[in-house]
Structure formats: C-alpha cells, structure tokens
Amino acid sequence: MTEQLKQKLNDSAVLRWSVLALVAFTMLCGYFLTDVMSPLKPMLEKELLWDSLDYGFFTSAYGWFNVFLLMLIFGGIILDKMGVRFTGMGACLLMVFGCGLKYYAISTTFPEGAMLFGFKMQVTLAALGYAIFGVGVEIAGITVSKIIVKWFKGKEMALAMGLEMATARIGTTLAMVLTVPLADFFGYTDEGGAFHTNIPAPILFCLVMLCVGTIAFFIYTFYDKKLDASLDAEGLEPEEPFRMKDIVYIITNKGFWLIALLCVLFYSAVFPFIKYAADLMVQKYHVDPKLAGTIPGLLPIGAIILTPLFGSLYDRIGKGATLMVIGSVMLIFVHSMFALPILNVWWFATVIMIVLGFAFSLVPSAMWPSVPKIIPEKQLGTAYALIFWVQNWGLMGVPLLIGWVLNSYCKGPVVDGAQTYDYTLPMTIFAMFGVLALIVALMLKAENKKKGYGLEEANIQK
Ligand SMILES: C[C@H](NC(=O)[C@@H](N)CCCCN)C(=O)O
C-alpha cells in the first residue's frame, strides 16, 4: 500500500465534501425532473387537454414500480449486496431512460382518442416514463444516503445529509421557477395569433441535466474505489456483507417502523402538496399562472438554507426527536391555514409557505440521520429502502387521491376556458396527515426514551 493510503480517505475534509458535492449534484438533477410538471398543470389542461384525474394518475406513477413491483426493496438489497458504485450507476441510467420516455410522450401528438390502459395514450406513456424514472431517483436516493454514512459517520453526518437534501431542493426550486419561463421562451404563436407554451422544452432540459448528473456520479465511483482501498489498508472491511436474515432484524424493530410511518405521513403532506401548490396559488390566492410556481418555489429555497442549519444543530446538540415533533406541529398549522377561507391574498400564502419551509427542514434534517442510530450500517441500504418503500405508498397514493377529490368534489365554474377548483377539502386532507405525523413523532420520542437509541444526543463524537 502506498504511504498516502495509510490514512483513511474520508479523514480528508476536502475530499469528503467534494464527493458530497458530486453525488448531491446528481440528486439535484433527479429532483428537478421529479417536480418539473407541477407548475405546468394549468398548461397541461389547456394545451394537452389533460384533466385533474389525468394529472393525478400521471403524478402517482412515480411510485407504481417502487411500490407494487417492490423495486425499491430489491434496490436496497442490491445496494447492500453489490455496493454503491454498481447500484448508483444503474439508478442514474434508469432516470435517464425514464425521462427520455416521458419526453417522447409529451412531445408526440397521438391520434385523437388513442387510449392505453383506459387512459389517454400520452398520459399513460408519460406516466410509464415517470414510473421508471421514479425507480431510478429513489434508488439513487438510498444509494446517496449510504454514501454519506460511508464518508461521514462519526463526523458531520447530519450536516452532510442536510447539505445533500438542500442541494437536491435546488432542483425542486429550479422546477418551480424555471419551468414556465422555459416553456414560454420556446413557445410559438399559431396562425390564429394564439400563443402556445412549449411543454416538452423543460423536460428536454431535464434530460440533458440528468445526463450531466450521471457523469457526476460516474466520477464519484473512482473516489469510492479509492475509499475502499484506504479502508482495506487500515485493516477495516469496506462494507460488512449483508445477509437476508438482516431484513428480519430491521422489520422487527419498533423504532424502524415509527421512523417509516413518520416518513410516509410527513412526506405525504409535503411532496404531493408541491404537485398541487402552483395550482392552489392560482385557484385560491389568484396568482397569475405564469408566476404561480414562484411562491411554492420559496418552500425548497427555505429548506436549502435551513436543512443544513438544523442538521448541524442535530450534529452538535442533538434533540433529533424533539425537532421532528416541532416540525410536525408546524405542518398542521400550515395546512390548516391553507384550508381555512381566510386571507386569500398572495402575501399570506407566501408567509405560510415560508413556515412550511421550516417544517420541511426540521423533520428531514433530524429523521434521516436518526436511521443509523437505530439500524446497523451493514443493513442501512435495506433499511433506507424499506423506509422509502413505505413512503412511496404515500407519494403514489396521495397525488391520485387529491386529483380524484378535486375532479369529483371541488370543481367550480369554467372561467376563460380554464377549470376552477376549490382547494378546501384537499388542504384539510393534507392537515390530517400532519396530525397523524405528530402522533407518530411523539411515539418515536417516547420509544427513544425507552430504548435509548440516542436520538436526543449529538452526532459528533468528541
Ligand atoms: C431524502 C429525502 N428523499 C426522499 O424522501 C425520497 N424518497 C423522495 C424523493 C422525492 C423527490 N421529490 C428528501 O428529499 O427529503
């Protein structure tokens, strides 16, 4: 072994933060595509003649293969067995392929009345592409979580996870803020003088970004190889082998289930909400559709600043379970404010969205770094995969539920050729998820006290 390999590679701060930048950038590209369609909902209805149910069906596709074909669980097992390099590259390629299919569907004009599986051909194909992409981005997510534990355990782990999430949220912000301007910029005016937005343009942009993200991950794999070599040189096994019976250990752990439940309930009230937030701004707060993504865009912007801050707080002071309780209380407050028929003005929506940004930072910055305190490292890939799997039921089911509720119970009059909706019922549903999340967060705090997981303790080992 060469002299310089004698020190573990992750002891170098420059190197560990640099590799974090590489994999976080890959996630940024994935999150961009995840939410790129959200600000386009009114345009999809106007230009491509989708309705809220089509949109809900398409959005729910994200979780289809993850949930029903257990792709996430297989992904976690593959991750623990084959390692981060193989799994991460596979996930990136799935994201690129899924995005390509979605682009093809949205940019193609299918014959009128063409149907597939009972839905419009275009909607179904776009949904299939999104479902494949969903497998890729979720497996990339668990891979990156494991990479962070590998490089940062015993160091600034929560801060690193917070920064990774913050970077990924830049992708969500770009989706909210850039999508409509991009679609408008490449739009055209027809012979009748009517202007049409170019809906495929932002998706093509995402496809290019995803290719760059894949290259970033490919570069990371070289550093990962070097880290393994340096762990070897230290006489440490790079990653302990995974056995199938480890799954039993995970699923019989009450703390694990409480985290998984909190995850599905909390995120069901956030990610699916983002899919409808731009439309909510138009329908309830009368924001110009061209600017509708701007206010929801504040949500990830807030999280970009706050998630690393709270992560660093958790690293130094602890109080992880308490942070999750506070975040859940804020979630209930926010969605209740959106549901109540008060102050239907843009500035109020803005203030409430900023409060949601706090909640959206508090819970993730404490929840994800808490998993390694409950589950041993060699089972982490599978544990994160199982948590994501439970979460995907919500990411899949809730957008569909909201789309169906809007279509069935919330339709108002058609104004200027556009369907209007009353969002009181959907927002009440989101608030109820917050109430359930709070109950589970309190149970987790109690379980932590009983079992001594150390969720209230600092992560940095002195
Ligand atoms: C880290 C965490 N990631 C997830 O929850 C993913 N399963 C979902 C990714 C959805 C992307 N809009 C997070 O982003 O907080």
For every residue of 45-63, which 3-state class applies, written as one string?
HHHCCCCHHHHHHHHHHHH
Summarised one tens digit per residue, pLDDT across range 136-178 is: 999 999 999 999 989 998 888 888 988 998 999 999 889 988 9
Residue 227 falls within a domain, yes or no?
yes
Tokens in use for 84? 């981060």
For 426, other C-beta atoms within 10 Å of its C-beta total: 26
Which of 72, 95, 271 maximizes ligand 1 atoms within 8 Å of its Cβ, making it the mutation to test the pocket? 271
Percent of the residues in the chain that have a pLDDT greater than 70, as a whole number: 96
Cα dihedral 67, 177, 422, 271, rounded to 10, equals 20
Residues 385 and 275 in one domain: yes
- Please give the Cα distance from 123 to 116 (Å, whole number): 9
Which ligand 1 atom lies nearest to the CA of residue 271? 12
pTM for this prediction: 0.84
Residues with Cβ within 8 Å of 347's Cβ and at least 6 positions away in sequence, in order, are: none
Summarised one tens digit per residue, pLDDT across range 385-419 is: 899 899 989 988 898 899 899 989 988 888 887 78
Residues 258 and 233 in one domain: no
**Among 238, 257, 289, which residue terminates a domain?**
238
Which ligand 1 atom lies nearest to the CA of residue 161? 1
Averaged pLDDT, 9-31 = 93
Which stretches within 234-345 are classed as H helix? 245-251, 254-268, 271-283, 294-317, 320-339
Distance 276 CA to ligand 1 centre (A): 17
Strand partners, 414: 419
pLDDT bucket at 321, cuts 50 / 70 / 90: very high
- Please give the Cα distance from 298 to 277 (Å, whole number): 11
Residues 281 and 230 in one domain: no
Structural domain range at position 67: 9-238
Residue 125's pLDDT is what?
A: 96
**Among 172, 203, 238, which residue terminates a domain?**
238
Residues 226 and 301 in one domain: no
- C-alpha 250: how far from its chain's center? 23
ipTM of the complex: 0.95
Residue 4's pLDDT is what?
A: 46
Closest by CA position to 333, among listed 358, 303, 308, 309: 358
- Please give the Cα distance from 363 to 369 (Å, whole number): 10
Residue 1 falls within a domain, yes or no?
no
Helix, strand, coil distribution of the chain in percent, nearest 5: 80, 5, 20
Closest by CA position to 247, among listed 140, 83, 384, 86: 384
Residue 3 falls within a domain, yes or no?
no
Question: Is the CB–ligand 1 distance for residue 34 below 6 Å?
Answer: yes
Residue 3's pLDDT is what?
A: 44
Distance 436 CA to ligand 1 centre (A): 19
- Please give the Cα distance from 114 to 111 (Å, whole number): 6
Question: Is the CB–ligand 1 distance for residue 28 below 6 Å?
Answer: no
Residue bearing the bigger pLDDT, 359 or 419: 359
Residues 217 and 274 in one domain: no
Distance 388 CA to ligand 1 centre (A): 8
Question: Is the CB–ligand 1 distance for residue 360 below 6 Å?
Answer: no
Residue 219's pLDDT is what?
A: 97
Summarised one tens digit per residue, pLDDT across range 59-109 is: 989 989 999 999 988 998 899 889 999 999 999 999 999 999 999 999 999
Which of 395, 396, 398 maximizes ligand 1 atoms within 8 Å of its Cβ, making it the mutation to test the pocket? 395
Residues 352 and 254 in one domain: yes
Looking from the CA of 311 toward its CB, the CA atoms found within 13 Å total: 25
3-state secondary structure of 327: helix
157 close to 461: Cβ distance less than 8 angstroms: no
Residue identifier of the C-alpha nearest atom 8 of ligand 1: 138
**Among 238, 263, 284, which residue terminates a domain?**
238
Residue 17 falls within a domain, yes or no?
yes
Residue 461's pLDDT is what?
A: 66
Residue 242's pLDDT is what?
A: 61
Residues 303 and 160 in one domain: no
φ and ψ at residue 228, rounded to 5 degrees = -60, -40
For 170, other C-beta atoms within 10 Å of its C-beta total: 19
Residue 2 falls within a domain, yes or no?
no
Residue 2's pLDDT is what?
A: 46
In angstroms, what CA-CA distances link 279 with 56, 68, 127, 221, 422? 13, 29, 20, 40, 10
- Please give the Cα distance from 116 to 458 (Å, whole number): 53
Q: What is the CATH number of the domain that holds 387?
A: 1.20.1250.20
For 288, other C-beta atoms within 10 Å of its C-beta total: 10
In angstroms, what CA-CA distances link 400 with 45, 389, 393, 429? 16, 17, 11, 13
Averaged pLDDT, 428-457 = 95
Residue 148 falls within a domain, yes or no?
yes
DSSP 8-state code for residue 6: G
Which ligand 1 atom lies nearest to the CA of residue 168? 14
Buried b (16+ CB within 10 A) or exposed e, 357-394: bbbbbbbbbbbbbbbbbbbeeebbbbbbbbbbbbbbeb
Tokens in use for 46? 């106007």
DSSP 8-state code for residue 193: S
Cα dihedral 288, 294, 295, 298, rounded to 10, equals 180
Residue identifier of the C-alpha nearest atom 3 of ligand 1: 141
Question: Is the CB–ligand 1 distance for residue 368 below 6 Å?
Answer: yes
